[in-house]
Amino acid sequence: MSLNPNFPQLLHTYFNDWLVGQRNIARHTILSYRDTWRLFLRFVSQQERCRVVDITFDQLTAEAVLAFLQHLEAERQVSILTRNCRLAALRSFFTFVADREPVALAHCAAVMRIPTKRGPRRAVCYLEPAEVEVILAQPDQQNVEGQRDHALLALLYNSGARIQEALNLCPKDIRFAPPAQVRLEGKGRKERICPLWSETADVLAALLRRQPRAPDAPIFVNRYGHPLGASGVRYQLRRYVKSAAAQMPTLRDKHITPHTFRHTAAVCLVAAGVDVTVIRSWLGHTNLDTVNRYAQASLETRRQALERIADQADIGKAPSWKGDDALLTWLESL
């Protein structure tokens, strides 16, 4: 079986006609898939000692994919999550090919059978209210950049938005009149409405008064008026956290990113007793398993549960099985 003449055309059709034209996949997803294929084709080129333009479909085997995934972990030191994302991008293409090239079905099936890799599930990192307060106090609101950063961090804490969801926000997406709310577009272009505290609405309104934006223009921009990027936010946040850690030493032991504010919002909602289905809708999650992680993360929730158990338990009364000598004798004989 040889699909050498078809491979470039298949890849072109996959990206332009299938992902964009038929499935309308989000641009960030397409860019991620594109980067995966750049890395994969360069890897295969080195392994096969040929130019990228000379790579054939026959060379893109399951063994090549497995070697590529191993290369990512061993040489590029990527996380298991990133490794699985790269694999998802490759499997998507081979699924596409399998539907259009019956002779390549077995070839594609071998790649699609490669399993995702399970990795360690780290504890959720979140901030205590006092820690959030100290971080929010760091930006210098006398200048427009500091006022912008303060408004952005307050929005992340209030809404639990993903960083890109917040950076895509336009004035038309915010309702400032009570009850204030914001419309966010999440993964899969799913829209959701989140309520805003009056304080958050006020700092956003103040920023727009100082730096007016068109209704459909991003609110958060850099000094040149271009949309602010996630990397710029991470850089500024690291500066604020370093400064805040001098006042709040507990911050030194935490790896804080913009996504930490999303975790913090979720844990606060759990601690407040908000129903998990409401939290799922608030954060734009697709299933409850993710929300349950926040319930496990909240130390305050655990403490309250332990206190309720202690209140209900009669510590001074021996359990009923203690008096059953026959049962204990039998258990000891096992």
Furthest CA-CA distance within the chain: 82
Q: Looking at the domain assignment, is residue 332 inside a domain?
A: no
Q: Which among 86, 150, 262, 263 is annotated as catalytic?
A: 262
Q: 259 catalytic, yes or no?
A: yes
Q: 33 catalytic, yes or no?
A: no
- Same domain, residue pair 148 and 175: yes
Phi and psi at residue 26, in whole multiples of 5°? -60, 150
Q: Which among 162, 240, 263, 280 is annotated as catalytic?
A: 162
Q: 308 catalytic, yes or no?
A: no
Average pLDDT value over all residues in the chain: 86
Dihedral Cα 266, 270, 275, 281, nearest 10 deg: 0
How does pLDDT run across 262-311, given as a tens digit for each residue? 989 988 888 888 887 888 888 887 666 667 777 665 555 555 544 554 55
- Same domain, residue pair 106 and 172: no
Q: Looking at the domain assignment, is residue 329 inside a domain?
A: no
Q: How many whole angstroms separate alpha carbon 327 and alpha carbon 225? A: 78
Nearest CA-CA partner of 126 in 237, 256, 248:
256
Q: 262 catalytic, yes or no?
A: yes
Q: Which among 91, 254, 259, 293 is annotated as catalytic?
A: 259
How does pLDDT run across 54-95, given as a tens digit for each residue? 899 999 999 999 999 999 999 999 999 899 999 999 999 999
Q: Looking at the domain assignment, is residue 298 inside a domain?
A: yes
Q: Looking at the domain assignment, is residue 34 inside a domain?
A: yes
Residue-range definition of the domain harbouring residue 92: 7-112
- Same domain, residue pair 34 and 173: no
Q: How many whole angstroms separate alpha carbon 135 and alpha carbon 327? A: 59
How many structural domains comprise the chain?
2
Q: 150 catalytic, yes or no?
A: no
pLDDT over 50 at 229, yes or no: yes
Q: Which among 71, 187, 192, 234 is annotated as catalytic?
A: 187
Q: Looking at the domain assignment, is residue 226 inside a domain?
A: yes
Q: Looking at the domain assignment, is residue 203 inside a domain?
A: yes
| Separation in Å, CA 206 to CA 90, 212, 233 | 46, 10, 20
Q: Enter the DSSP assignment of 287.
A: S
How does pLDDT run across 128-166, given as a tens digit for each residue? 999 999 999 999 999 999 999 999 999 999 999 999 999
Q: Looking at the domain assignment, is residue 58 inside a domain?
A: yes
How does pLDDT run across 87-105, given as a tens digit for each residue? 999 999 999 999 988 888 9
| Predicted TM-score (pTM) of this structure | 0.69
Q: 28 catalytic, yes or no?
A: no
Q: Of 112, 142, 174, which residue constitutes the final position of a domain? A: 112
